Amino acid sequence: MVEAKYYHKDGDELVCDLCPRACRLGDGDEGACFGYTHLDGKLIATNYSRVVTAVYDPVEKKPFFHYYPNSVILSIAPNGCNLKCSFCQNHQFTAEKAETKEINLQTILEYSGKSHSIGVAYTFTEPLIWPEYLVDATRKLKGIGQKNILVSNGYVNEKPLRDVLPYVDAINISVKAMRNEVYEKYMEGNADVVLNSIRIAAKETHLEVTYLLIPGLTDSDKDIGDFIDFMVEVNKDIPVHFKRFFPHYKMTDIPMTPNETMVKAYKLANQKLSYIYLIDTDIDGVSDTFCPNCKRLIIKRRDYQANLGGMRGANCKFCGHRINIKF
């Protein structure tokens, strides 16, 4: 049994300090993310080394477009999440108790390099509800030259985030809205916390950001414009992925994001940001990389495969501009 790193006592209760939900747990109670239980005066990380899935995936699928293109990575996930998104596409793993299997530190070392994998992606659910395992696993993997990448909702307190980031080679943080009221009503979260995590991560590791376009909730010119301006303020060279919304789980009354909205977001962002992509569309060219300096096509993508014909090392082969990309 592994004791949690982030909690304090308050009378007979324990208060979890990992994320802003600050769950108060009496003896035997479990946190809202399923990751922690109060047992006899200690908070126990019951999710330590327990995974709901383990598959080898292309890094482009996470999505990471500027991190070791054309690589495969072992992708694992704990059961649970600290946000409660009404539209979650993985709700069977995030919102419900699912069967888990153990991947201990020895096993992860064995499997991280198989099938040409470059390391481990902590993804599908919320990896930052797993800091005890994350730090132990990432340290071991770093020791054998393997990569550790996270796909996160960014809804975490600052201290644990700063503790974990030194071991993380890349992170994709998902912004599901720019307004707190949308986060509160549909996700039980808060936009300010997520945006703050982006500001911190941008200084610590390779960062890519995903923005979810939900019709009527996050797709107005004002919301998209606010997101773009925020990214300009953080760093305009951070790759940005606009993601299509699909009606799912408890939110089936809102339609799929139409192509016109996806294209609108692309065009608005293209005026200010260096690398913009549309996810879950078959529109030609919107997953390709264009040099921000000379505007030539440098990376062509299709079906999670990237053709790097316009690159020379990490530079544009046409004008020599340094691209924000890791190999």
Q: Please say which residue, 96 or 221, places its beta carbon nearer to ligand SF4.
A: 96
Instruction: Give counts: helices (H), strands (E), the chain.
Output: 8, 20
Sketch the per residue contact string, 98 through 137, with ligand SF4: x for CB under 6 A, - otherwise.
Answer: -------------------------------x--------
DSSP character string of 6-31: SEEEETTEEEE-SSTT--EE-TT-B-
CA angle at 195 for the pair 23 and 80, rounded to the nearest 5°: 40
Work out whether 21 is an interface residue with ligand SF4 (CB under 6 A): yes
Q: Residue 28: is it exposed, middle or buried by C-beta count within 10 angstroms (0-12/13-18/19+)?
A: exposed
Work out whether 31 is an interface residue with ligand SF4 (CB under 6 A): yes
- Near ligand SF4 in 51-90, by CB under 6 A: 82
**Interface with ligand SF4 by CB under 6 A: which range of 33-41, 195-203, 208-216, 217-225?**
33-41
Work out whether 2 is an interface residue with ligand SF4 (CB under 6 A): no
**Interface with ligand SF4 by CB under 6 A: which range of 29-37, 45-53, 99-107, 311-319?**
29-37
For residue 56, the 8-state DSSP code is E
Work out whether 187 is an interface residue with ligand SF4 (CB under 6 A): no
Work out whether 14 is an interface residue with ligand SF4 (CB under 6 A): no
Considering CB under 6 A, how many residues would be counted as binding ligand SF4?
13
- Establish whether the linkage from the previous residue to 63 is cis, with ω within 30° of 0: yes
Work out whether 33 is an interface residue with ligand SF4 (CB under 6 A): yes
**Interface with ligand SF4 by CB under 6 A: which range of 17-25, 136-144, 164-172, 283-291?**
17-25
Whose CA is closest to 244, among 68, 63, 51, 93?
Answer: 63
Cα gap 97→33, rounded to integer Å: 10
Smallest distance from the beta carbon of 189 to ligand SF4, in angstroms? Answer: 10
Q: For the chain, what is the largest distance between any 2 Cα atoms, rounded to a whole number of angstroms?
A: 66
Sketch the per residue contact string, 36 through 55, with ligand SF4: x for CB under 6 A, - otherwise.
Answer: x-------------------
Whose CA is closest to 76, among 48, 95, 96, 97?
Answer: 48
- Near ligand SF4 in 162-181, by CB under 6 A: none
Cα dist. 207→35, 103, 131, 234, 282 in Å? 25, 26, 19, 11, 25
Work out whether 35 is an interface residue with ligand SF4 (CB under 6 A): yes
Cα gap 231→41, rounded to integer Å: 43
Smallest distance from the beta carbon of 258 to ligand SF4, in angstroms? Answer: 34
Query: Which residues here bind ligand SF4, judged by CB under 6 A?
Result: 16, 18-19, 21-23, 31-33, 35-36, 82, 129
